[in-house]
């Protein structure tokens, strides 16, 4: 009988447990994507400032890169401000407000000497445009028209 009660208690406790959502992992439409690089010796916990409160986005170990997603509801007006706390350390980093639009990507580089850390928005591009430009690909129409204008024919 005691075994049944213990099992029932364990099952009830497991059923009531919640898995808390981390706002930094949601990839919803209109979310601002932050590309974080941590070159600091310490492990960083990254927050987004919303007025005077902070919302945790995620954590990043030293020497790592990660994408964090900020839902558009957490952006105050059109500015994004980040706060970084280092695990086991007394120092913190608060960025200046950065102008962003929904769906925009932001680079955030945390340096070992904190005043050299940078945060800046990337140029706003439609989905997939940066992929093609990075690899030197042109749209097919442009590639074909340039060959035709030079008088080349490929048979």
Token pair for 10: 């364990």
Q: Is 111 helix (H, G, I), strand (E, B) or coil?
A: coil
Q: How would DSSP label each residue in 40-82? A: SSS-EEEEEEETTEEEEEEEE-TT-EEEEEE-GGGSBTTEE-E
CB of 108 within 8 A of CB of 119?
yes
CB of 67 within 8 A of CB of 75?
no
Q: Per residue of the chain (155 residues), what is the pLDDT tens digit?
A: 666 666 666 655 555 443 334 444 455 677 899 999 999 999 999 999 988 889 999 999 999 999 999 988 888 678 889 999 999 989 899 999 988 888 889 999 999 999 999 998 886 555 555 555 555 544 444 444 334 434 444 44
Domains of the chain: 23-140 (2.60.40)
First to last CA, the chain: 85
- Determine if the pTM surpasses 0.85: no
CB of 106 within 8 A of CB of 35?
yes
């Amino acid at each position: 009988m005691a075994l049944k009660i213990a099992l029932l208690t364990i099952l009830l406790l497991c059923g009531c447990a919640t898995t808390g959502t981390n706002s930094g992992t949601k990839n919803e439409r209109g979310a601002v994507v932050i590309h974080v690089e941590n070159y600091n010796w310490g492990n960083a916990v990254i927050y987004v400032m919303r007025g005077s409160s902070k919302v945790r986005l995620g954590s990043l170990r030293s020497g790592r890169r990660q994408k964090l997603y900020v839902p558009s509801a957490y952006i105050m007006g059109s500015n994004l401000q980040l706060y970084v706390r280092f695990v086991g350390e007394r120092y913190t980093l608060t960025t200046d407000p950065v102008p962003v639009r929904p769906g925009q990507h932001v680079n955030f580089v945390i340096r070992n000497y904190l005043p050299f850390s940078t945060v800046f928005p990337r140029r706003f591009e439609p989905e997939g445009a940066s992929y093609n430009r990075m690899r030197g690909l042109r749209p097919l129409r442009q590639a074909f028209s340039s060959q035709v204008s030079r008088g080349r024919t490929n048979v």
